[in-house]
Amino acid sequence: MAGASEPVDVSTKRQRIAQLARQSPEMGFTSLAYFIDIDWLREAYRLTRKDGAVGVDGQTGEDYAADLEGNLRSLLERAKSGTYQAPPVRRVHIPKAGSATETRPLGIPTFEDKVAHVTNQVVGPFQPPADLVSWSCGLLVFISPEPAPWTSRLST
């Protein structure tokens, strides 16, 4: 289509964000939600394991793929508006290593939450912790119940 810009792949976008961070080291990123688009979510979906255990909603990777574009657009809208909330995780108990009787709890997130977590991994790794604003919660695009390890407090 004449005049339309060429699609930019995710790695190019990550390089651009890293370049912005290098050009203005005094500027701390508080959120990368501005940079997230449907291509980032597609890449996160592609990298998300589809055969894992289901979360509390019972939705599989295959179920999520049935309306992939709609699900990703909904996730993107909630991420950008700040209304995304991680759903509860399903708790199961699995045997402890080396013990026939003891178990340990394991939390299994919903498939959509797995995509959200992978999005954070796709977006965030380029930024070293030294450049984080103390309350940025590790530059997580989606709301996290826990602050990143290097943050002292989660600002409200």
Per-residue pLDDT, 124: 60
Question: Of the candidates 129, 131, 154, which has an alpha carbon nearest to the alpha carbon of residue 143?
Answer: 154
pLDDT in tens, 24-76: 777 666 666 777 889 889 999 999 999 999 999 999 999 999 999 999 999 99
Per-residue pLDDT, 89: 95
Q: Identify the residue with better confidence: 19 or 79.
A: 79
Kindly list the domain boundaries of the chain, sorted by start residue. Answer: 10-139
- Taking the CA atoms of residue 38, residue 44, residue 45 and residue 46 in that order, the dihedral angle to the nearest 10 degrees is 110
pLDDT in tens, 79-138: 888 888 999 999 999 999 888 899 999 999 999 999 998 887 776 654 444 444 444 444
pTM of the model: 0.66
Name the pLDDT band for 10 (thresholds 50, 70, 90). Answer: low
d(C-alpha 24, C-alpha 22), whole Å: 6
